[in-house]
Amino acid sequence: MQSAETFPEIREAVRRLCAGFPGEYWREKDRDRAYPAEFVQALTESGFLSVLIPEAYGGSGLGLGAAIAVLEEVHRSGCNGGASHAQMYTMGTLLKHGSEAQKQAYLPRIASGELRLQAFGVTEPGAGTDTTRITTFARRDGDHYVVRGQKIWISRAEHSDLMVLLCRTTAREEAARPSEGMSVLLVDMREAVGNGLTIRPIRTMLNHATTELFFDDLRVPVENLIGKEGQGFRYILDGMNAERILIAAECIGDARFFIDRASAYAREREVFGRPIGQNQGVQFPIARAHVQTSAADLMVRHAADMFDAGEPCGTEANMAKMLASEASWFAADTCVQVHGGFGFAEEYDIERKFRETRLYQVAPISTNLILSHVGNHVLGLPKSF
Ligand SMILES: Cc1cc2nc3c(=O)[nH]c(=O)nc-3n(C[C@H](O)[C@H](O)[C@H](O)COP(=O)(O)OP(=O)(O)OC[C@H]3O[C@@H](n4cnc5c(N)ncnc54)[C@H](O)[C@@H]3O)c2cc1C
């Protein structure tokens, strides 16, 4: 038995929308590493990307419970939310820490889809997961910041009007603590590209529109600082909980896609005069994938409930992301195995989804870093770094 569907009307509407974007649409985009602009446009027009924006700023203010229903269904339908999911949550930094003037200026236009705020610039080649070691620096010059440095793996930068950028405004050595001295700037990509910002796409094993960014004295108006100078790291951590819970929901959707497909094939495919699913060696891994996915799903919903109640949920968001990404990966591997040779055929969409779901054990945070968080912050074990 599966737990009751939350937001059934939203789920049904998402399923209907996704039916217009079948496997062949995604296969073509995947082959060309092209941005699924038509799908993103349809999601935007449906209003599903603004469920986290309060009604006062033009969104539907439904919270993370509704957002996870949207992304789970997108992924269960065989589609992929990676091209646009950040439009849902990147604005959280602005919503929580921006001034009223900034919120009025941007949020209604983000809610309507007129402005795309779906680029989030944190990772740097020299720092990796150790974010306090970022070196992209914003130097104050009159009423502007002048930004120099480099970012890597910044997704959707070419398809975004705005970017939330984390950079240093005080060098690590001069800050009171390593986690201080970083600030968040809202960069207008339309003005920045060609005027101090260069974007270089990175081709990866999945179609993800990810890029490398080079800042060469990019001028950003001081009024685009979000919150207080030097406090940016804390603001970014805040926003990461929503991201991890939403990506966990995508993993649950992927896992259910693989389980649906594997079950259907195992019922139909006959070898040695009986359905392959009659063999316990085939049936049990699919059942195990379902058990693992159901457990992970409960953790995702729990984390989302805590987030919506305004409770601290860093640990739960991390645990949800870890469990869901491992459940989707196990389900993916099982689905390939159940399909035998056909698991490798592009037209079945399984190999594409297999590649896509592998990402989530690395990004937006890798499994080891989650285990380190639990070991240190929850269990009181010594920190390893
Ligand atoms: C397709 C894609 C899209 C992305 N999109 C974005 C984006 O939009 N914006 C953004 O800012 N970033 C983005 N990222 C970056 C992503 O968040 C990082 O890749 C991820 O957090 C891992 O960091 P890293 O690649 O620097 O790995 P590293 O930090 O170099 O780590 C490499 C490996 O070593 C392990 N490791 C490191 N230190 C320890 C330790 N102390 N103990 C145990 N294990 C350790 C890690 O778990 C990992 O497996 C994206 C990445 C990818 C691949």
Chosen domain end from 200, 233, 266: 233
Please give the tally of structural domains in the chain: 3
Counting from 1 in the atom list of ligand 1, the atom nearest the Cα of 364 is 17
Residue 108 is assigned to a structural domain of this protein: yes
31 & 56 share domain: yes
Counting from 1 in the atom list of ligand 1, the atom nearest the Cα of 371 is 43
In this structure, what CATH number is given to the domain that contains residue 76?
1.10.540.10
In this structure, what CATH number is given to the domain that contains residue 284?
1.20.140.10
133 & 88 share domain: no
Domain of residue 300, residue span? 234-378
Residue 1 is assigned to a structural domain of this protein: no
Q: Is this structure's pTM higher than 0.85?
A: yes
137 & 225 share domain: yes
Q: Quote the ligand 1 centre to 354 CA distance (angstroms).
A: 19
**CA distance linking residue 259 with residue 370, whole number of Å:** 26
Chosen domain end from 112, 137, 158: 112
Residue 279 is assigned to a structural domain of this protein: yes
173 & 214 share domain: yes
Pocket of ligand 1 (CB under 6 A): 120-123, 128-129, 153-155, 204, 208, 210, 359, 362-366, 368-369, 372, 384-385
For 55, residues 6+ apart whose C-beta sits below 8 A from its C-beta are 61
Beta-ladder partners of 184: 166, 226
Helix, strand, coil fractions of the chain, as percent rounded to 5: 55, 15, 25
Tell me the best of 207, 215, 246, 366 to mutate to test the pocket of ligand 1, counting ligand atoms within 8 Å of each CB and taking the most: 366
122 & 178 share domain: yes
Q: Would you write out the chain's pLDDT as a tens digit for each of its 385 residues?
A: 456 789 999 999 999 999 999 999 999 999 999 999 999 999 999 999 999 999 999 999 999 999 999 999 999 999 999 999 999 999 999 999 999 999 999 999 999 999 999 999 999 999 999 999 999 999 999 999 999 999 999 999 999 999 999 999 999 999 999 999 999 999 999 999 999 999 999 999 999 999 999 999 999 999 999 999 999 999 999 889 999 999 999 999 999 999 999 999 999 999 999 999 999 999 999 999 999 999 999 999 999 999 999 999 999 999 999 999 999 999 999 999 999 999 999 999 999 999 999 999 999 999 999 999 999 999 999 998 8
238 & 374 share domain: yes
**CA distance linking residue 139 with residue 219, whole number of Å:** 9
Question: Strand pairing of 182-188 and 274-275?
Answer: unpaired
Residue type for position 30: D
Chosen domain end from 210, 233, 256: 233
Supply the residues annotated as catalytic.
243
40 & 23 share domain: yes
Six token digits for residue 131: 């974010």
Please name the residue that has the structure tokens 């992304």: 71
Residue 132 is assigned to a structural domain of this protein: yes
Residue 312 is assigned to a structural domain of this protein: yes
For 367, residues 6+ apart whose C-beta sits below 8 A from its C-beta are 322, 325, 326, 361
246 & 326 share domain: yes
Going by CA atoms, what residue is nearest to atom 24 of ligand 1? 128
